[in-house]
Amino acid sequence: MNATIRNKLIWGFSGVLLLLGAVAGIGIYAVFSLRQSAQDATRIGGRLNATALEIQVHNLEAERRVKSYLREVKQLGADKAREKYLDEADFELSAIESLALKAAKIAPTAEKREKFQKIVNETATYKIAMAAAVTNAENEEAADTAKAYFSAADRLHDYAEDGEAAGREASQTSQEDIDRTSKSSVSMAIGMSLVGMILGITMSYKLSRAILLPVEHLKDVAENVSLGNLEVAVRRYSDDEIGDLADSFSRMVTAVKFFRMEAETVQAEHDSAGGE
């Protein structure tokens, strides 16, 4: 491809348009990345919510087993009742602790982490209260220790409910963020890109015309003059450097025309003098 002004302009403006396209692409990519992050946050919120529900189920199951133990310990005897109910209750407590620890690790904010950490801490209190209730199940302190145990179980349940709410809130907030960010950012990125592209194309067209039209006209005039045709009008298209160039060219053509006329006149005079 020749390095003409037209080609240079085409390449230059194509580059600008390409750049605009790249900027738009980066913008859209950023929006979609943001959307992806928000979706991840929603998933985490959902997981926290499910974990908190699971903790509640384990808590209810542990409570049911401890209740059964306290009710039947006198009939079955401590060892058998422990084997039948408390081993499972211990397992439920371990599950609660493990789930709460995992949730605290993935929770997106300090506030939400704290809610799940409270469950972990409460599990320790719960274990102590349960051990006291089991130990005193057959003596005069049974009622008090059982009451303390059920209070601990209720607290654990409340904390798990708080965790559930925190997970739900994280999920909903992220979903709202996704919708809001997607709607505004995508339309803004597309709108800005379109405006940029329309401006780029319009400017490219106007600038190419502003440069190419007078240059091509001057090229035509120069070609005509070089072939001996001096009857060409040199037009000044614009009040800029190309306009000045057109004026210079016009002066040159006028002078060449005049000198040629002079030469023709002198020749005619010479011919007529020779004829006489």
Residues in contact with another protein by CB under 8 A are 233-234, 247-248, 250-252, 254-255, 257-259, 261-262
Q: Amino acid letter at 116? A: F
In whole angstroms, the minimum distance from the beta carbon of 253 to another protein comes to 8
The CA-based angle 217-218-219, given to 5 degrees, is 90
Compare residues 183 and 257 and give the one whose CB is closer to another protein: 257
In whole angstroms, the minimum distance from the beta carbon of 250 to another protein comes to 7
In whole angstroms, the minimum distance from the beta carbon of 232 to another protein comes to 10
In whole angstroms, the minimum distance from the beta carbon of 233 to another protein comes to 6
Contacts of 47 (CB under 8 A, 6+ apart): 103, 106, 167
In whole angstroms, the minimum distance from the beta carbon of 254 to another protein comes to 5
Compare residues 3 and 233 and give the one whose CB is closer to another protein: 233
In whole angstroms, the minimum distance from the beta carbon of 258 to another protein comes to 4
What would the two tokens of residue 101 be?
Answer: 């620890």
* Calpha distance 152→121 (Å, rounded): 11
Residue bearing tokens 């909903």: 172
Compare residues 29 and 259 and give the one whose CB is closer to another protein: 259
Compare residues 29 and 258 and give the one whose CB is closer to another protein: 258
Q: How far is CA 201 from CA 9, 55, 94, in A?
A: 12, 61, 67
Compare residues 4 and 265 and give the one whose CB is closer to another protein: 265
Compare residues 227 and 233 and give the one whose CB is closer to another protein: 233
Closest by CA to 162, choosing from 223, 208, 111, is: 111
Per DSSP, the residues of 153-173 read HHHHHHHHHHHHHHHHHHHHH
Residue 49's H or E segment, with its range, is helix 5-76
Residues in the chain: 276
